[in-house]
Structure formats: structure tokens, C-alpha cells
């Protein structure tokens, strides 16, 4: 009963985006819209995917990048309406689906095999 209700609300209210398939270890660029007052602009976020989680229309993924020596992680919902485009820059080969160990690596160690 509850599962049917959840499925019905997902189909009714969440719009499905069509993006290319990507996995943990891949380097991607996400282009998303930001509203500042009345202005809108598109900003990009490029980094390595640390994890993907969820199922159905409520999937989310976490991207990590290094900006001026500081690690920044951002969580995106896959079917978020403000995501315009996802580009896959590099396919990565990792053995785990959630690469949390990537947070502690620095410099040349923080590379993913392609």
C-alpha cells in the first residue's frame, strides 16, 4: 500500500531526466542552474564520483573535487530540475562502489585509473 503510494507520487511529480550512465570513479561535469535574486546562471562542477545511492527516481550521487588544496564534496539528486547537463570526462576503474578512501588521498595518490 505504502509502496504503491510512493511509486504514484514519484511518477506524478518527479520529472525524469535522461543522462548518460556513469559509475563510481568516473570524472564528470555537472551543469546546474543557480538563481541569485532574479538572475539565473549556469554553473559547472567537475569532479570524481565517490558514490551513487538510492533507487528509482530518487537516486543521488556525490562528487568530490579539490579546489585550491581543499576538498569539496557536493551531493546531487539525479532528477533534480535545475541540472541541465551531465558530461562524462573520463571513465575510471575502481574496485569499490563507494570510494570513501579517496578522501584521505592527496597529490598523485589521488588519481583514478582509467
- The pLDDT of 51-59, averaged and rounded, is 86
* Residue 1 near residue 25, CB atoms below 8 Å: no
- The verdict on pTM exceeding 0.75 is yes
What is the average pLDDT value for the chain, to the nearest integer?
Answer: 88
Residue among 57, 52, 49, 53 at smallest CA distance from 87: 49
Query: Residue 29: is its pLDDT beyond 90?
Result: yes
Break the chain into its structural domains and give their ranges: 17-103
**CATH number, span 17-103:** 2.30.30.790
Contact 102, 48 (CB under 8 A): yes
**Contact criterion met (CB below 8 Å) for 64 and 50:** yes
Q: What value does the mean pLDDT take over residues 39-65?
A: 91
Mean pLDDT of 52-62: 88
Give the per-residue pLDDT at 6. Answer: 80
Q: How confident is the model at residue 96 (pLDDT cuts 50, 70, 90)?
A: confident
Amino acid at each position: 500500500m505504502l509502496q504503491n503510494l510512493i511509486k504514484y507520487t514519484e511518477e506524478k511529480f518527479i520529472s525524469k531526466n535522461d543522462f548518460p550512465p556513469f559509475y563510481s570513479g568516473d570524472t564528470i561535469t555537472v551543469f546546474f542552474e543557480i538563481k541569485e535574486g532574479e538572475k539565473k546562471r549556469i554553473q559547472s562542477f567537475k569532479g570524481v564520483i565517490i558514490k551513487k545511492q538510492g533507487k528509482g527516481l530518487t537516486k543521488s550521487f556525490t562528487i568530490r573535487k579539490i579546489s585550491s588544496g581543499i576538498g569539496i564534496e557536493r551531493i546531487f539528486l539525479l532528477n533534480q530540475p535545475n541540472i541541465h547537463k551531465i558530461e562524462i570526462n573520463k571513465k575510471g576503474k575502481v574496485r569499490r562502489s563507494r570510494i570513501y578512501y579517496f578522501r584521505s588521498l592527496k597529490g598523485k595518490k589521488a588519481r583514478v585509473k582509467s
